[in-house]
Amino acid sequence: MSNNLQAVRGTRDLLPEECDRFRFITDTSYNIARLYGYGEIATPIFEFTDVFKRTLGETADIVNKEMYTFLDRGGDSLTLRPEGTASIARCFISGGFAQSLPVRWFYSGPMFRYERPQKGRYRQFHQIGVECLGVNSPLADVECLALSYDLLKALGLIDKVQLEINTLGDLESRIRYREQLVAFLAKYKQDLSKDSQDRLDKNPLRILDSKDERDQKILTEAPHLFQYLTEDSKQFFETVKEGLSRLGIPFLINPQLVRGLDYYCHTVFEWTTTQLGAQSAVLSGGRYDGLIQSMGGPQTPGVGWASGVERLSLLLDETNLHKVGPKKIAVIIADESAEMRSLQLTHQLRQKGFQVEMPLSGNLGKKMKRADKAGCSWALVLGENEIKEQKITLKDLSSGAQETLSEEQFWNRWS
């Protein structure tokens, strides 16, 4: 087959079973977000490149190595969105939403990053996310986390994930810390990885989440940001922790958690799992009080998170919750004379909200097998006798028990 007929590396076709799981995940998150007062929005899939370049950070991998950027026919530089928060901030500013705070938005859709594909990591992937704009209070961080907790619980995944949190403090705390960290790391500059050497001037905090072993070794002795937090920042984090405890949401403090995007301050968090190999982050986010202003909008605090639908879906595989739905029924045509009546019955059942399979090929045995494979709990069998006597044979596919009912008896039971 010619290469042109294959899906591009890092992209996938989502077949019906996977789409069922995606829908289950997005519908569940939409419903829970609604309980928290979030309305759904959808921003365009591409934006002017500046929207991401100016917000995600000069040294962020996403900007430097991973963006799908192209010139359109008019000569504008456009980028397929690598994440949702920058687009939402752009929408917030251009739509003048500062007049109607707070704004709580839920979104879902595809994102694009030129990353090395592996299990749970794709070049086109899907996120669900929430952003709460205009609330300074740490209670908004707690609410956001409670929403993520409720979602992971509703998906049946809460036992497979763990919440890690950290604080990056306010700007003053980070300026104080940055000086100390740079002074410390400068002593080991030659021993740091190439990426970390580059980051030492531009964004030293990112060195903290380097995966490089040499960096990790040096970092064990490094000063902790916690020591340099302002009183306000400490208090902020205390309130977040107390709120989580009050709601019975377990968490771990991970001082190394700094997140890969420049816009964060105060609370940062990640729900992680050990079940997806190298891709441990299932849902991540944090507070970003400076983002809107850095894009030219009015000073507006924000907090939110996003989660990879593919990763949730991989974790769901074992729980099978997505299979919960309306009971499936099969209508089995056992004789040609029963065709039209079966067609009619199938139609009537679907109109009543039942999910109905009507196998149309093979002999009776094949049709029964097909019904079983499709996960039907009941089979309605119509043959010559049933048509003559205007009856329906009802077979329980799990026990094998069957009985023949008049149409009236049947509908009394099934409506």
Nearest distance from C-beta of residue 315 to ligand HAM, angstroms: 10
Whichever of 207 and 282 has its CB closer to ligand HAM, that residue is 282
Answer yes or no whether residue 131 interacts with ligand HAM by CB under 6 A.
Answer: yes
Answer yes or no whether residue 315 interacts with ligand HAM by CB under 6 A.
Answer: no
Q: List the one residue from 57, 129, 169, 243 that touches ligand HAM (CB under 6 A).
A: 129
Count CA within 13 A, CB hemisphere, residue 377.
8
Q: List the one residue from 285, 297, 301, 359 that touches ligand HAM (CB under 6 A).
A: 285
CA 384: distance to chain centroid? 52
Nearest to 86 by CA among 274, 240, 297, 360: 297
Q: List the one residue from 134, 169, 304, 359 that touches ligand HAM (CB under 6 A).
A: 304
Q: What are phi and psi of 50, to 5 degrees?
A: -55, -30
Nearest distance from C-beta of residue 190 to ligand HAM, angstroms: 31
CA distance 189 to 182: 10
Stretch that binds ligand HAM, among 116-124, 157-165, 313-321, 404-412 (CB under 6 A): 116-124
Q: List the one residue from 81, 104, 311, 370 that touches ligand HAM (CB under 6 A).
A: 311
Question: Angle at which helices 138-154 and 16-35 pack, to 10 degrees?
Answer: 140
Q: What are phi and psi of 353, to 5 degrees?
A: 100, 10
Run of H or E residues at 165: strand 162-167
Answer yes or no whether residue 107 interacts with ligand HAM by CB under 6 A.
Answer: no
Whichever of 215 and 310 has its CB closer to ligand HAM, that residue is 310
CA distance 16 to 22: 10
Answer yes or no whether residue 188 interacts with ligand HAM by CB under 6 A.
Answer: no
Answer yes or no whether residue 282 interacts with ligand HAM by CB under 6 A.
Answer: yes
Answer yes or no whether residue 87 interacts with ligand HAM by CB under 6 A.
Answer: no
Nearest to 177 by CA among 203, 214, 196, 210: 203
Stretch that binds ligand HAM, among 170-178, 300-308, 347-355, 386-394 (CB under 6 A): 300-308
CA distance 412 to 415: 6
CA distance 193 to 211: 10
CA distance 90 to 262: 16
CA 119: distance to chain centroid? 15
Nearest distance from C-beta of residue 303 to ligand HAM, angstroms: 7
Q: Which of residues 47-66 bind ligand HAM (CB under 6 A)?
A: none
Question: Angle at which helices 16-35 and 309-316 pack, to 10 degrees?
Answer: 110
Helices (H), 73-118: 85-94
Run of H or E residues at 312: helix 309-316
**Cis ω before 102 (30° cut-off from 0):** yes
Q: List the one residue from 51, 63, 84, 382 that touches ligand HAM (CB under 6 A).
A: 84
Stretch that binds ligand HAM, among 123-131, 175-183, 221-229, 232-240 (CB under 6 A): 123-131
**Residues counted in the chain:** 415
Nearest distance from C-beta of residue 218 to ligand HAM, angstroms: 25
Q: List the one residue from 308, 356, 376, 394 that touches ligand HAM (CB under 6 A).
A: 308
Answer yes or no whether residue 181 interacts with ligand HAM by CB under 6 A.
Answer: no
Whichever of 286 and 290 has its CB closer to ligand HAM, that residue is 286
Q: List the one residue from 22, 92, 177, 305 that touches ligand HAM (CB under 6 A).
A: 305
Binding residues for ligand HAM, rule: CB under 6 A, are: 83-85, 113, 115, 120-122, 125, 127, 129, 131, 281-286, 288, 304-308, 310-311
